[in-house]
Amino acid sequence: MNIGLVTLGCTKNQVDSEMLLGVFKSQGFNIVNEVEQADIIVVNTCGFIKSAKEEAIDTILEMADYKECGRCKALIVTGCLAKRYKKEILESMPEVDLCIGVDEYNNISKILSEFFSQNKLLSQCKFTHGLDFNNRIISSTYPLAYIRISDGCDNRCSYCAIPLIRGKFKSRKIEDILTEVEALAKKGIKEFCIISQDTSKYGLDIYGELKLDELLNKMSKIEGVKWIRILYMYLFETTDKLIEEIAKNDKVCKYFDIPIQHLNDELLKRMNRHDTKELIYDRIKKIREMVPGAILRTTCIVGFPGETDEQYEELISGIKELKFDRLGAFTYSREEDTPSYDFDEQIDEGVKEKRLKHLFDVQKEISLSKNKERLGKKYEVIVEDVSEDEKYFVCRSMLEAPDVDGRIYIKIDEDSANKIIIGEYTNVKIIDYNEYDLFAEVLE
């Protein structure tokens, strides 16, 4: 039987999907990329904010059509939406045959065995493997893997549903992570992106102290590891010791993904963030002093309940002053069962959207200036793909994270085509730029 899997949401979900594919492959299923060829379709959902929930519902309904006009015999919904709204999904979407939330993954082999037996789809199939980091089917088309070092979160930001979905913060053991990385490196994976809901807290729950710097050091010594990138660090946990390890370790990307969410202390407190404006400025100054040329990426929320025009302008002023290399932002999403859902002074959606657009306009100018500074500089890049119009090779250096950042483009001509192989590394020089992307030529 063929199985097709659609992944929505973040890279943490992607890792779950890769482990789900490993479960099915271990039972002899054929994994297909085209859902119209699938006998079983799995939709791994996100349920973080309103737009993600809407996308998940639309995708489930779209996949359900293949039960009518395709070969699909069963539609399985997994992930965060399945955890938050399992009862509602099963009651309102009769097209869904099975719903498995993230809190049920430990029992997934039993759940799947019972489901297949009851539905007579493959009654003799008794699943014997559960989700396993070492049994993943890597879905990237180039040598990249995401390494999830922990799950859950204890920070309890007042707007965030992640603790309701993923539970308390739980680190994996260093030995388990290193075993996974070593196995992937032997398979040809060269770039490793460290992810979790709170990477900077790694190790505190099981070792009694922060251990991310030690993990980086040990990962970098594994043969075959080329780039290590850390995503989603909280500044209040980004210690001098961690910054020092990033600065001195040649395999660790000089890339700091540090979501601040805001720069007004009153709003930060209402958000239940553990950073203050002073701490944010202090840590960013420290990073730039200790890691010259470091790339700083952040995210911000606009339209949080009670955000005044003055508080919003304080955020804008800070962004202009701090000059982040990369910045993502989103409007506040009112999520049921979170503390901020019941906060007074909810902001009008039109005001939120206006503030978001203005923020992006401000950042666009900063990004343009930052990219201009890279003219003439040389980088080693990974060649990811060819652009949709087939005019450029699409690349990244150590300074661009996959999925979220701009790209480095090399024009396809006879010279570059003879020198470049997709999935391999090459050396380039930056020759042009725009607000978000760079353009380069191949070096001899």
DSSP track, 66-134: HHHHSS--EEEEEEHHHHHSHHHHHHH-TT--EEEEGGGGGGHHHHHHHHHHHHTSSTT--------GG
**How high does pLDDT run on average in the chain?**
94
Q: How far apart are CA 23 and CA 43, in angstroms?
A: 15
Instruction: Look at residue 142 in the predicted model and tell me its pLDDT.
Output: 87
**CB-based contact 184:139 (threshold 8 Å):** no
pLDDT in tens, 393-411: 999 999 999 989 999 999 9
> Which residue type occupies 70?
G
Q: What is the mean pLDDT of residues 62-89?
A: 91
Question: How far from chain centre, in Å, is Cα 282?
Answer: 26
What pLDDT is attached to residue 57? 93
Report pLDDT for 118: 80
Model confidence at 333, pLDDT cuts 50, 70, 90, reads very high
Q: Is the pLDDT score of 120 beyond 80? A: no
**Is the distance from CB of 115 to CB of 97 less than 8 angstroms?**
yes
Q: Are 440 and 431 in contact (CB under 8 A)?
A: yes
Q: Mean pLDDT highest for which of 32-36, 52-56, 214-218?
A: 214-218
pLDDT of residue 126 exceeding 90: no
Q: For residue 49, name the pLDDT band (cuts at 50, 70, 90).
A: confident
117-121, 166-170, 326-330: least confidently modelled range: 117-121
Place 117 in a pLDDT band, splitting at 50, 70 and 90: confident
Strand pairing class (378-386; 392-396): antiparallel
The pLDDT of residue 425 is above 80: yes
CA-to-CA separations, 411 to 175, 224, 251, 392, 442, in angstroms, rounded: 43, 29, 28, 4, 9
Give the model's pLDDT for residue 124: 62
d(CA 3, CA 158): 38
Would you state the pLDDT for residue 127? 80
Q: Is pLDDT at 128 greater than 80 in this prediction?
A: no
Summarize pLDDT for 352-372 with one digit per residue, the tens.
999 999 999 999 999 999 999
Residues 396 and 381: beta-carbon distance below 8 Å: yes
% of the chain surpassing 90 pLDDT:
85
Q: Which band of pLDDT confidence, cut at 50, 70 and 90, is reported for residue 114? A: confident
Q: Tell me what the mean pLDDT of segment 50-55 comes to.
A: 88
Q: If pLDDT is split at 50, 70 and 90, which confidence band does 121 have?
A: low
Give the range among 112-121, 224-233, 381-390, 414-423 with minimum mean pLDDT: 112-121
Share of the chain above pLDDT 70, in %: 99
Q: Which domains does the chain have, with CATH numbers?
A: 2-119 (3.40.50.12160), 139-372 (3.80.30.20), 378-442 (2.40.50.140)
Tell me the chain's radius of gyration from C-alpha atoms.
23
Looking at residue 122, what is its pLDDT?
A: 60
Using the predicted structure, report yes or no on whether residue 119 has a pLDDT greater than 80: no
Under 8 Å between Cβ of 393 and 383? yes
Query: What is residue 310's predicted lDDT score, i.e. its pLDDT?
Result: 98
pLDDT at 123 over 80: no
Q: What is the pLDDT of residues 144-164, one digit of tens each?
A: 999 999 999 999 999 999 898
- Categorize the per-residue pLDDT at 51 as very low, low, confident or very high, splitting at 50, 70 and 90: confident
